[in-house]
Chain A
Amino acid sequence: MNGIATVAALEFRLRLRTGRWRWLLASWLIVLTVIAMLIRLSVRPTVGEEVVGYTGSFMFGGLMLVVLGLALLIAPALAAQSVNGDRERGTLAPLQITGLTSWDLAVGKLLASWGTAVVFLLVTAPLALWCLLEGGLSVGRVLIVYAVMALLIGVVCAVSLGLSAWMARTTTSSVLAYLAVFTLTAGTGVLFGILLAVTSDTVTEGTGEQSYTYNQSRPDRIWWILAPNPFIVLADAAPETPTTTIRLPDGTIIQARQDADLLGALSQAARQLRQPPSVFDVAEPAPEPGPVWPYGLGLQLVLAAGALLLTERRLRTPAGALPTGQRVA
């Protein structure tokens, strides 16, 4: 534990000394504030309807997706040169021959890069508070979304760290780390789209000359491809929005669940994919499809654990076989 703290504190101090953090964090907050304001301005309930307590949850959903997108761009930069960069500079080996274990180094480095990324998340707290004040948003939803986001960013940090321990060159590991993020986000979407066409059923209805044939897509077979997508994990893991009060044009007031915010919509869309095609039956409606996020987050955590194990293996000394192109010191 002591060793992990030593490594994490060292890495954190080095990051603090070398970067222009104040400027970086300030511009990060300014950009996000502008985006939050734009989302706030875009809230236009249907003419005649008055939705009470909806603005906050709508703002929050949009904002969090933007924050996640930007954080996914920052996280690889924080960790993807952590091990091989130290190797190149000749600063790793002197640490390896001290009382520090390979686990101390691996976990300490992960905590430092993850911690830095979490600082970026925490800076956005005032914006979340603004969303809360706008109403329609529970504190629990905010906390859980932040927690899941922190986990997702931690996974990207762990994978980037693993790549930096695996690859001899810093440029290679950086490119691969961004490729990994790209695969998780855009890659899952593209793959899903392609496989949706490939796995569709050819259905023939009717008999004789009356019959007709069409392609029926079967997303319920491949929904899991989208599950590890960080945006879907974040959206689907967020607890349901509280019911909101809607005043209809004729003056009646109804209580309804508002899932029109981006997180809620994304979550619903992802869950709907799990629904097998069925004939609409009023008497016996199809059961609600289950959540998607446990699979996605589970896979991500397995990925992160694997990356951390790899990192530790590559930091172990005395080293046996070395990967080509890699020097111990």
Chain B
Amino acid sequence: MVVFPVAYEAPHAGVRTRALHRSFGPVGAVQGMDLDAYPGQVTALVGPNGAGKTTLLLILATLLTPDAGWVRVAGFDPATAPGEVRSRMGWAPDVLGFYDALTVTEYLDVMAAAHRIPPAQRRQAVPAALDAARLIEQAGARVHTLSRGQKQRLSLARALIHGPSVLLLDEPAAGLDPRSRIELHDLLRRLAAEGRTVLVSSHALDDLEELADDVVFVDRGRTVASHRVDQLPAHLGPRAYRVRTLDAEALTRALDERGVSAITAGPSAVDVQVFGGEQNAARLLSELVGAGVPVTAFGPVGGSLEAAYLQLTDDQAVRR
């Protein structure tokens, strides 16, 4: 594994925004976003389409100026010190655009040259980025022959080519097969473990739960909530669990004895509503097993991120 040098300066040289605003004509794409993405952590930026995720990332990536608000990337203001930010930040956009006529190696070499990396160092930086993105086998292939998943990895390699300390990834898992997703997660976790700030936008919620340390929910240009993933409200509040069993009668009896209401969800499964967070779910499971119910599966219905997300967007819908 290749470890990139990380420029680590201030205690919090990640990504910080406060009351960030940006409009396109009459359309307010970002209308007050507060965000903290810390070094060494993967932060998920979650929200529906049109919530302003991409616009926020464009501001962070020094491509758009904010209309108002305060923003720091790797300790610098992208609007006034774009050069400082660019040398410390890598961005993988939602659009996978490359020069199709070039090979993977040639493309990364051009990008490294654009970052003003001298030729001698490029000979190391390009293979390092290829290795990190698991593209060694495709090194000599023309870009247009790559699969979508490989292009996503090339986009990541491009973002990594100059060893940035902050990574901004816009929907990096879009169009990836499950195996590629797992590999992507491994890679992002590794990059975070090296001390980098990794900010990932997505609406693939279940995926992010295993990946992210922090999650920031955005909707219609605003930050709605931010949480540590292990402290999501869904972990604490009421939540549906699906129980599978070999003996449906025994399960129904056991649930009835404990006064737990259940909805049938298929021939050998029921959904139960558990209040009071994961502690109570664990207790219910041990009681069921203790009562001799042959439980084969016990787990929350939908991810906790999904639950929190639906809850939040529900709140918004009510307020609307």
Residues of A within 8 A of B (CB): 2-3, 6-7, 10, 13-14, 17-18, 86, 89-100, 317-320, 322, 324, 328-329
- Among candidates A2, A18, A96, A320, residue contacting B101 with C-beta atoms closer than 8 Å: A18
Residues on A with beta carbons closer than 8 Å to the beta carbon of B224: none
Q: Is the CB of B114 within 8 A of A100?
A: yes
- Among candidates A90, A92, A318, residue contacting B96 with C-beta atoms closer than 8 Å: A90
Q: What CA separation (Å) do A97 and B57 show in the bound complex? A: 12
- Among candidates A3, A86, A318, residue contacting B64 with C-beta atoms closer than 8 Å: A318
| Chain A CB within 8 A of B115 CB | yes
Q: What CA separation (Å) do A329 and B97 show in the bound complex? A: 10
The smallest C-beta distance from A126 to any residue of chain B, in angstroms, reads 30
Q: Which residue of A lies closest to B58 (CB)?
A: A328
- A-B contacts, 26 of them at CB < 8 A, read A13-B101, A13-B102, A14-B99, A18-B101, A91-B97, A91-B98, A93-B61, A93-B97, A94-B91, A94-B93, A94-B111, A95-B111, A97-B63, A97-B86, A97-B89, A98-B114, A98-B115, A99-B86, A317-B82, A318-B59, A318-B63, A318-B82, A319-B64, A319-B65, A329-B58, A329-B93
Residues on B with beta carbons closer than 8 Å to the beta carbon of A320: 65
Interface of B is mostly: loop
Q: Is the CB of B98 within 8 A of A317?
A: no
Interface string of B94-137 (1 = CB under 8 A from A): 01111101100000001101111000000000000000000000
Q: Is the CB of B24 within 8 A of A317?
A: no
Q: Which residue of B lies closest to A98 (CB)?
A: B114
**In the complex where A96-B63, A317-B63, A318-B79 touch, is A2 in contact with B116 (Cβ < 8 A)?**
yes
**In the complex where A98-B86, A98-B114, A99-B87 touch, is A318 in contact with B65 (Cβ < 8 A)?**
yes
Q: What CA separation (Å) do A7 and B116 show in the bound complex? A: 12
Residues on B with beta carbons closer than 8 Å to the beta carbon of A3: 114, 116
Q: Is the CB of B59 within 8 A of A329?
A: no
- Among candidates B24, B63, B64, B114, residue contacting A6 with C-beta atoms closer than 8 Å: B114
**In the complex where A90-B93, A317-B82, A324-B25 touch, is A97 in contact with B102 (Cβ < 8 A)?**
no
Q: What CA separation (Å) do A194 and B314 show in the bound complex? A: 69
Nearest 9 interchain pairs by C-beta: A90-B97, A90-B95, A17-B101, A98-B114, A99-B116, A91-B97, A318-B65, A328-B63, A98-B115
| Chain A CB within 8 A of B158 CB | yes
| Chain A CB within 8 A of B78 CB | yes
| Chain A CB within 8 A of B62 CB | yes
Residues of B within 8 A of A (CB): 24-25, 58-59, 61-65, 78-79, 82-83, 86-87, 89, 91, 93, 95-99, 101-102, 110-111, 113-116, 158, 162
Q: Is the CB of B63 within 8 A of A93?
A: yes
The smallest C-beta distance from A84 to any residue of chain B, in angstroms, reads 13
Residues on B with beta carbons closer than 8 Å to the beta carbon of A99: 83, 86-87, 114-116
Q: Is the CB of B110 within 8 A of A97?
A: no
Q: What CA separation (Å) do A17 and B158 show in the bound complex? A: 21
- Among candidates B63, B87, B97, B115, residue contacting A89 with C-beta atoms closer than 8 Å: B97
**In the complex where A2-B116, A6-B114 touch, is A317 in contact with B93 (Cβ < 8 A)?**
no
Q: Is the CB of A94 within 8 A of B97?
A: yes
- Among candidates A92, A97, A322, residue contacting B91 with C-beta atoms closer than 8 Å: A97
Q: What CA separation (Å) do A94 and B87 show in the bound complex? A: 13
Residues on B with beta carbons closer than 8 Å to the beta carbon of A14: 99, 101-102
- Among candidates A10, A96, A328, residue contacting B110 with C-beta atoms closer than 8 Å: A10
Residues on B with beta carbons closer than 8 Å to the beta carbon of A7: 114
Q: Which residue of B lies closest to A105 (CB)?
A: B114
Q: Is the CB of A329 within 8 A of B116?
A: no
Residues on A with beta carbons closer than 8 Å to the beta carbon of B83: 99
Residues on A with beta carbons closer than 8 Å to the beta carbon of B59: 318
